[in-house]
Amino acid sequence: LNTFKPGSRLPSDDVRHVAVIGLGLIGGSLAHALARANVNVVAHDTDPATRERAAEVPGLSVAGDVAGAAAGADLVVVAVPLPAVADVLAGLDGYRGLLTDVVSVKAEMRALVSAGPATGTYVGAHPMAGSDRSGFDAADPDLLVGCPWVLCLEEDTALPAWCAVARLLTGALGARVVPATAAEHDAAVARISHLPHVLAAALAEAAGSGDASALARTLAAGSFRDGTRVAGTRPDLVAAMCGGNAAALVPALEEAIAHLSEAKDLLTGPDPIPALTGWLRAGYEVRARWPAAAGEPYEVPIEPDALLALGRRGGWVTAVSPTDDTATAVEPDPR
Amino acid sequence: LNTFKPGSRLPSDDVRHVAVIGLGLIGGSLAHALARANVNVVAHDTDPATRERAAEVPGLSVAGDVAGAAAGADLVVVAVPLPAVADVLAGLDGYRGLLTDVVSVKAEMRALVSAGPATGTYVGAHPMAGSDRSGFDAADPDLLVGCPWVLCLEEDTALPAWCAVARLLTGALGARVVPATAAEHDAAVARISHLPHVLAAALAEAAGSGDASALARTLAAGSFRDGTRVAGTRPDLVAAMCGGNAAALVPALEEAIAHLSEAKDLLTGPDPIPALTGWLRAGYEVRARWPAAAGEPYEVPIEPDALLALGRRGGWVTAVSPTDDTATAVEPDPR
């Protein structure tokens, strides 16, 4: 799926000048990637040492504060962890352009924007890419190329703003733009991003406790390595995204706990091997069919209902027409 | 750590002729690797098509039944899933050489050998390597090179037999031979291999349920991919290893469920982000220190207490002296 060639398509005509606020892994990777796509990028980070290193990246300008970065921007991207968002929004007071973000929790982010000062036309977003590394030094312009990128569509979202951001992301980064409401996004990522982080931490801790823990860690191989990879992410970053999405994560976690308790009961029951075989099948079927192949591209109208229905079927937008009338859509092949 | 060059060391003098019973992923990989190390290998599998494909591998002979494969062997390796072991042991009735296995559950395997017909001098074993693929077509002679390989040491284990198998595994495959009792092995693998399989299945199923499951699967990225990788393993194989080790897996699973319930309580509590940060730290510390660096090699006496203490410290044997007096040992560097 990821066949986009960086630089092969012109970025959006609406968005020529982007401010990226926050130069961690995602903000740093985005700033790099947009600069490489010949978008004018001005970046800001609260850390002076990070600003110094960012200033050395070709095509990247650096501003000493949020307002300075936003001055003259067509689009401001908020790329700080959730607990730091309110301060950034305060610094954007009076900004009148497009506003988006990369924060992994969308309902909470939307509430912060609504409650904050007037800061332009907001379209919530979340690129589905990451790494167990963090910070600007781990930034990589290829990290975000071709990734699924949720672009929130609510009743009050301005469609021209949605189209402008979608055109930039598809054009400059080859993103697969997935239309979804904030609530739909939060329910989905609770299951495929936040729950994996919580389970990985529990699994890593299990190898550190018990009577045979030094032996266990020496015997640990591929299943432990992959199952715990994201447990190596900074705990405060994981807690910010999981805690910020607690309303959606808690039911998913309760479901997983109930499912694991069922496995425990089967293991202590009369015929554990056939019983557990049946229990394992549901997860096996999901994993064996993932990732799904992509179907043939087709056109959908730029209308909220049609776009949200596309997102609910697991589909995405690969391009927006110059007139904002239609989008090129792809969805998983049902075969 | 994995710097062993296949063919760089002579295989064991005691073991020149090996029978491998069962040509799945592990048995097939072992047969390939031993043949490449110039050991005489005769293999058997119950599936005629698998036997035909195995006969095409250079250096590999194939026998039509278990007894035929074992005839003239110095060492027989049982490489079938636990439910098929009893039939293989019945076919080895009267065999008098060395016997080992690669079954992932050691107490149950030991009980089967004790209860079965007399079948040579048994040393239980388990190589810590795998893949989400299975079967002879997925076999790879490099899969087992340099991997941790538990070699069980019980009160009734014959030390010369233990040394002969250890010499073959270190010499022909560069294995890191880890001495442990069956009970210690089973407790350790419950945490680092069986629990990961159960958690991966629960995680994969979570992405297949809920209102937004098509959207969730499209948004699923690296944390889902790695966290669910082993959920793609055949359910009957996973159930055989987990169900065969239920006595050790159940307490590990109960501990993980309790730990996850604690996370759920923190997420519904008054201050979820700092509370969850603290909860995540234990797993983070384990993962950040894994895998440990290896210390300098040293000599240990071939004595059960010394070898088992080495295993409990997370150490392993890289070579056995020709006289069976000492072993070269390595353990994790505490720094």
> CB atoms < 10 A from the CB of B299, how many?
11
A146 touches chain B (CB under 8 A): no
Chain A hits for B259, CB-CB cut-off 8 Å, are 202, 205-206
Beta carbon pairs, A and B, within 8 Å? 407
CA distance A185 to A183: 5
The whole-model pTM stands at 0.89
Answer whether residue A230 shows pLDDT above 60: yes
Tens-place pLDDT, residues A87-97: 999 999 999 99
SS (H, E, C) chain A: CCCCCCCCCCCCCCCCEEEEECCCHHHHHHHHHHHHCCCEEEEECCCHHHHHHHHCCCCEEECCCHHHHHCCCCEEEECCCHHHHHHHHHHCCCCCCEEEECCCCHHHHHHHHHHCCCCCEECCEEECCCCCCCCHHHCCCCCCCCCEEEEECCCCCCHHHHHHHHHHHHHHHCCEEEEECHHHHHHHHHHHHHHHHHHHHHHHHHCCCCCCHHHHHHHCCHHHHHHCHHHHCCHHHHHHHHHHCHHHHHHHHHHHHHHHHHHHHHHCCCCHHHHHHHHHHHHHHHHHCCCCCECCCEEEECCHHHHHHHHHCCCEEEEECCCCCEEEEECECCC
Indicate the pLDDT class of residue A1, thresholds 50, 70 and 90.
Answer: very low
Chain B hits for A260, CB-CB cut-off 8 Å, are 198-199, 202, 253, 256-257, 260
pLDDT value at residue B8: 56
Tens-place pLDDT, residues A241-269: 999 999 999 999 999 999 999 999 999 99
Closest residue, chain B, to A150 (C-alpha): B219
B221 touches chain A (CB under 8 A): yes
Closest-CA distance of chain A to residue B269, Å: 10
Residue B261: exposure state from Cβ atoms within 10 A (0-12, 13-18, ≥19): middle
Residue numbers of B between 266 and 295 with CB closer than 8 Å to A: 267-268, 272-288, 290-292
- State residue A82 phi and psi, 5-degree precision: -45, -45
Chain A hits for B216, CB-CB cut-off 8 Å, are 187-189, 191-192
What is the torsion angle, in degrees rounded to the nearest 10, for the CA atoms of residue B27, residue B33, residue B37 and residue B42? 30
Indicate the pLDDT class of residue A119, thresholds 50, 70 and 90.
Answer: confident
Chain B hits for A180, CB-CB cut-off 8 Å, are 212, 215
B209 touches chain A (CB under 8 A): yes
With CB atoms and an 8 Å threshold, state whether A244 touches B273: yes
The pLDDT > 90 percentage for chain A reads 88
Chain B hits for A282, CB-CB cut-off 8 Å, are 201, 204-205, 208
Chain A hits for B270, CB-CB cut-off 8 Å, are none
With CB atoms and an 8 Å threshold, state whether B199 touches A199: yes
With CB atoms and an 8 Å threshold, state whether B231 touches A286: yes
Q: For an interface test with B, give the residue of A132, A280, A308, A330 to mutate (most B CBs within 10 A).
A: A280
Of A185, A219, A239, Cβ closest to residue B178: A219
With CB atoms and an 8 Å threshold, state whether B290 touches A200: no
Of A223, A246, A260, Cβ closest to residue B272: A246
- State residue A190 phi and psi, 5-degree precision: -55, -40
With CB atoms and an 8 Å threshold, state whether B196 touches A203: yes
CA distance A224 to B195: 9
Residue numbers of A between 245 and 264 with CB closer than 8 Å to B: 246, 249-250, 252-257, 259-261, 263-264
B2 touches chain A (CB under 8 A): no
With CB atoms and an 8 Å threshold, state whether A128 touches B220: yes
The per-residue pLDDT string of chain B (335 residues; one tens digit each, 9 = 90 and over) reads 445 666 555 556 679 999 999 999 999 999 999 999 999 999 999 999 999 999 999 999 999 999 999 999 999 999 999 889 999 999 999 999 999 999 999 999 999 999 999 888 999 999 999 877 889 999 999 999 999 999 999 999 999 999 999 999 999 999 999 999 999 999 999 999 999 999 999 999 999 887 779 999 999 999 999 999 999 999 999 999 999 999 999 999 999 999 999 999 999 999 999 999 999 999 999 999 999 999 999 999 999 999 999 999 999 999 999 999 999 999 999 76
Answer whether residue A272 shows pLDDT above 50: yes
A210 touches chain B (CB under 8 A): yes
Chain centroid to CA A272:
39
Of A240, A253, A263, Cβ closest to residue B273: A240
Complex ipTM over 0.85: yes
Given a contact cutoff of 8 angstroms between Cβ atoms, the answer to whether A204 and A235 are in contact is no
A202 touches chain B (CB under 8 A): yes
Answer whether residue A2 shows pLDDT above 50: no
Of B129, B216, B267, Cβ closest to residue A221: B129
